[in-house]
């Protein structure tokens, strides 16, 4: 079931991004900043990586670069789960907020990501939930 959700999410994201028909010439290159994020992540410096991701998100927001916003959202979720004790809850709250703010086709992508977060949360906390 989880693999089906991941597969469908990947297909949805790929389709939506290709439907946007954005080329690299439409927006400035983000590769340098993403390489910095990758370096910080490899060193285990997730807080520093999150700061760069937040900078990318601000830049992408100003430029209306939705693919980069979605990418930063995925990285923010990952880093919040690593850095914060209640990272799962914060990630789900962030996803719900993005769903309310987004327009199609991005809204569908956020729905798919949120569904995946709920599924992962259930898998991680199933023993606790079943005891209630």
CA dist., res. 131 & res. 129, Å (int): 5
CA dist., res. 80 & res. 29, Å (int): 25
pLDDT of residue 2: 55
pLDDT of residue 102: 92
Give the tokens for residue 126. 């199933």
Crossing angle, helix 66-83 and helix 87-101, to 10 degrees? 160
pLDDT in tens, 17-55: 555 544 444 555 799 999 999 999 999 999 999 999 999
pLDDT of residue 66: 94
Give the tokens for residue 117. 């977060």
pLDDT of residue 3: 53
Answer for the pair 37, 52: CB distance below 8 angstroms, yes or no: yes
pLDDT of residue 75: 97
The vertex-122 CA angle with 121 and 126, nearest 5°, equals: 125
Q: Residue 82 belongs to what H/E stretch?
A: helix 66-83
Q: Give the pLDDT mean for 101-129.
A: 91
Residue 28 DSSP label: -
Kindly report the pTM of this predicted structure: 0.74
52 vs 8: which has the higher pLDDT: 52
pLDDT of residue 11: 47
Q: Give the pLDDT mean for 44-67.
A: 96
Between the alpha carbon of residue 60 and those of residues 2, 6, 75, the distances in Å are: 30, 25, 14
């Amino acid at each position: 079931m989880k693999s089906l959700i991941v597969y469908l999410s990947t297909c949805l994201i790929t389709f939506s991004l290709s439907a946007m028909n954005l080329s690299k010439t439409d927006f400035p290159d983000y590769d340098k900043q993403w390489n910095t994020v990758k370096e910080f992540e490899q060193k285990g410096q997730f807080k520093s990586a999150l700061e760069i991701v937040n900078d990318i998100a601000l830049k992408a927001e100003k430029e209306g670069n939705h693919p980069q916003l979605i990418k930063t959202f995925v990285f923010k979720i990952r880093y919040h789960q690593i850095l914060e004790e209640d990272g799962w809850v914060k990630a789900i709250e962030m996803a719900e907020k993005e769903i309310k703010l987004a327009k199609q086709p991005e809204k569908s992508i956020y729905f798919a990501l949120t569904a995946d977060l709920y599924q992962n949360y259930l898998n991680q906390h199933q023993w606790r939930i079943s005891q209630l």
